Amino acid sequence: MMHLGLIGYPLGHSLSPTIHTAALKACGLEGDYSLFPVEPDDIPGLEKLLSRLRTGELRGLNVTIPHKQNVIQFLDELTPRAGTIGAVNTIYFREGRLTGDNTDAPGFLSDLYRFLARNQPDIPGQKSALVLGAGGSARAVVYALVSDGWSVTVAGRRIDQAEELVAQFKNARAIELNRASIQSCIFRLVVNTTPVGMVPDIDRSPLPEGLCLSPDIFIYDLVYNPRETKLVRNASSRGCRAETGIGMLIEQAALAFEIWTGRHPPRDILIQSVDY
């Protein structure tokens, strides 16, 4: 019996159990996927939960807000990708070592290009992106974009956090997340990595009020619950092509599942599991 799960807080609206249950069934594996809500300041609780991987009680764990960086202190090693990003979303125990990886970056990039290809954008030569937020998810997104040749501007409410993030990446700079700073930037893609707009806080957008967006801008919102966030709804009404992060959720989940089990769950079945 394979026991998998997700660490984060809050977790009440997570779709990860649905996706991974479908993956287990599709691959003919016996197991379950549980939610492990750990409050932001409960570091002892975090350490205790990770110890269950070392004993074999758990096979693998995903990590989401707010613990993508908190877990690192309890791990034996990071994969090169996770080490560069500085954030972990997938943990496993192998050969006596507790290892942290990050499947957010490849999962995001894979789904981003599916979204862009579907809309047939004229991106070459104009690969400039504005990333909203400077937390663990932002680190994965910036890593993915910069590695793929994009020029990235990170907009953070805390400018020091944004500057710390971009310091380790070429072709990345930091600004404050306000209307004046964003309005002065040139970009073709906006990626929201903040939780603003997520259930239950669905009437907020991470973009400042009164910001004018050109209709040739693409919007990718990592928030997937609700299926149409205020950011996506507002952008679409202005003629922008916009997408929520359900596709990224599926891609990063499938990649984590492959790390834990060595099996490759069919993406179409995972999509059907969330009725996407």
User: How far, rounded to the nearest angstrom, does the alpha carbon of residue 225 sit from its chain's CA centroid?
Assistant: 13
Alpha-carbon distance 217 to 239, whole Å? 9
Q: How far, in Å, CA of 5 to CA of 17, rounded?
A: 8
**Cα–Cα–Cα angle for 117, 153, 127, rounded to 5 degrees:** 30
| Distance (Å, whole) CA 83 – CA 101 | 8
Answer whether 188's CB lies under 8 Å from 129's CB.
Answer: yes
Helix (H) or strand (E) holding 61: strand 60-63
Is residue 187 a contact partner of residue 153, using CB atoms and an 8 Å limit? yes
DSSP 251: H
Closest CA to 261 of 69, 8, 11, 33: 33
Token output for 204? 């907020």
Q: CB–CB of 138/166 below 8 Å? A: no
- Spatial separation of the C-alpha atoms in residues 131 and 145, rounded to whole Å: 10
Decide if 25 is catalytic. Answer: no
Q: Which of 68, 127, 170, 230 is catalytic?
A: 68
- Token pair 């070392």 is found at 54
Kindly list the strands in the beta sheet with 2-8, ordered across the sheet, starting from the edge strand earlier in the chain.
31-37, 2-8, 60-63, 90-94, 97-101, 77-78
Q: Which residues are catalytic?
A: 68
